[in-house]
Structure 1
């Protein structure tokens, strides 16, 4: 299968993206393997998709489909067990549901479904393909001829030199305990767990208990989100005449917010709500993002 750019669903207004309407795409070829994609948003600033692999499936790279990009990426596991490897360095990390992997530009990566159920992974990618950071960029990189999934240099040094070895990692596993927590919103009732934050992308998990709501907020960057649990309501207090001001999202649904859009999150149900978000490039409303950081490795 010859390389072709993936679809780029783009929105100019706040948009509810129900699971049933998400753009489907099949990525890959016989060499790289094939991946099922559900592409939610591919805008000027952020790319959000869910990719799936069958039990014991995997993707690698081929000459046409090279997995090395000019972007920061967060891969959040929704179901299954993901092994993510850098075939250039030999790193292999195990990531389970509720955990994430983070890496920066020019990081080769392969993914293996290490289990007997379907692997589904939510991915945030910025700068997005619309800025030439994906397939077109990958074809300019030297082709990786040999892949390895071992690191012999750690033999005799683990765990005695664990910190030194981890500091050289190109991929960071972010467990639940590794999230950097923030209390935001109405009476600090919104729990935000940051997965990663750089100059290009901030991604995190929001937990909203029954009956709670956030304050009206906005970001300097575009926001894309994905509901993982419960029923989330989104209020848009300044919605125009052609945009619904009160939206209800179910698990598997997404939502897109242009930069600067005032919005507010509600949980009107009796069950907890959880969603995963990405904001690109800047999280704070004034674009004066303070110190950017990358979580320390725990993989």
Structure 2
């Protein structure tokens, strides 16, 4: 497979060649990140990297960590496929995340991840609008002395985060779409990171004729990331209402199989678990469940 830097912004196609595409697990691009030290690298699988977002999975072995700290010129959201993991931020926040939970990291937030379990950890990540600047990994990285942690030598000299972290435990509503789990501009100013537990996801209903559960982990001016849960059918298969988006997006199958029906194109594709489907802006699609159980898909959409 190609180097991560070589495919950045143009996998599995160049931006000018965007098209609907089923991307099988076997077709993901693989790399170690960071690429220069396997001992402190994660195993990275890139599904999509375009001019508007990046979607991928990284794995950490038992006891593993990716280091040093990383940073992006865009927001990053997590969906924990296999946990638990401990996400460390340079500002002194440590988020312990279980399977199915999420995380929001605003642009400019230094971070790394630890796996303190005896199982392999897998994290689905969505970065928008841009994953890296000119350097992969970043050219300048904070030292331990420039971050906060237990008995850190310079904790007293670094910013106090206690008054900057917002309580997100309240019940959300439709009006929160576009600013969940917090106001994105405020988060980018403070650098605060937010774990999004099961009860903190922003719940809504997609469609009226064929309702589907929609659960946002993050929703802001950079992108939207969360779960579609389509129940089993009754008389005939269960399907979602057709939808289009103003921005590019992708779907990742967590529990399936699930069929992606391209309504106007009269084409359909079956996503097996761990497959990805890319949907360019403006393409009308719906999900169809032919199974006798609910199916779950993670959505990553730049603009609804």
On whether the aligned pair clears a TM of 0.5, the verdict is: yes
Call closer, same or farther: CA 1:6–1:55 in 2, change over 3 Å. farther
- Segment drifting more, 270-279 vs 9-18: 9-18
Q: Check if 1:102 corresponds to 2:104.
A: yes
What is aligned with 2:192? 170
Call closer, same or farther: CA 1:32–1:116 in 2, change over 3 Å. closer
What is aligned with 1:206? 228
Call closer, same or farther: CA 1:109–1:126 in 2, change over 3 Å. same
- For residues 1-299 of structure 1, the aligned pairs below 5 Å read 5=5, 7-8=7-8, 9-11=11-13, 12-28=18-34, 29-30=36-37, 33-61=40-68, 67-87=70-90, 89-129=91-131, 133=133, 135=135, 138-139=138-139, 143-146=141-144, 148=147, 150=149, 164=163, 166-167=165-166, 170-211=192-233, 212-239=238-265, 245-280=267-302, 282-283=303-304
**TM-score scaled by structure 2?**
0.78
In 2, the alpha carbon distance for the partners of 1:55 and 1:111 equals: 12
Call closer, same or farther: CA 1:72–1:90 in 2, change over 3 Å. same
In 1, the alpha carbon distance for the partners of 2:33 and 2:80 equals: 19
Instruction: Give yes or no for contact 2:109–2:191 (8 Å, CA) kept in 1.
Output: no
In 2, the alpha carbon distance for the partners of 1:104 and 1:6 equals: 25
Call closer, same or farther: CA 1:103–1:79 in 2, change over 3 Å. same
Call closer, same or farther: CA 1:40–1:111 in 2, change over 3 Å. same
In 1, the alpha carbon distance for the partners of 2:280 and 2:287 equals: 16
In 1, the alpha carbon distance for the partners of 2:162 and 2:287 equals: 39
Name the SS of the counterpart of 1:255 in structure 2: strand
Call closer, same or farther: CA 1:60–1:134 in 2, change over 3 Å. farther
Instruction: Give yes or no for contact 1:31–1:60 (8 Å, CA) kept in 2.
Output: no
Stretches of structure 2 that go unaligned for 5 or more consecutive residues are 153-160, 167-189
Stretches of structure 1 that go unaligned for 5 or more consecutive residues are 154-161, 284-299
Instruction: Give yes or no for contact 1:223–1:258 (8 Å, CA) kept in 2.
Output: yes
Instruction: Give yes or no for contact 1:84–1:112 (8 Å, CA) kept in 2.
Output: yes
Instruction: Give yes or no for contact 2:164–2:192 (8 Å, CA) kept in 1.
Output: no
In 2, the alpha carbon distance for the partners of 1:271 and 1:199 equals: 34
1:238 to partner: Cα distance: 2.2
Call closer, same or farther: CA 1:185–1:135 in 2, change over 3 Å. farther
Q: Deviations over 1:89-138 (max 9, x none)?
A: 11111011000111111100010012000000000000134xx5473693
Name the SS of the counterpart of 2:32 in structure 1: strand
- Structure number with greater CO (CA < 8 Å, separation at least 6) is 1
In 1, the alpha carbon distance for the partners of 2:100 and 2:79 equals: 7
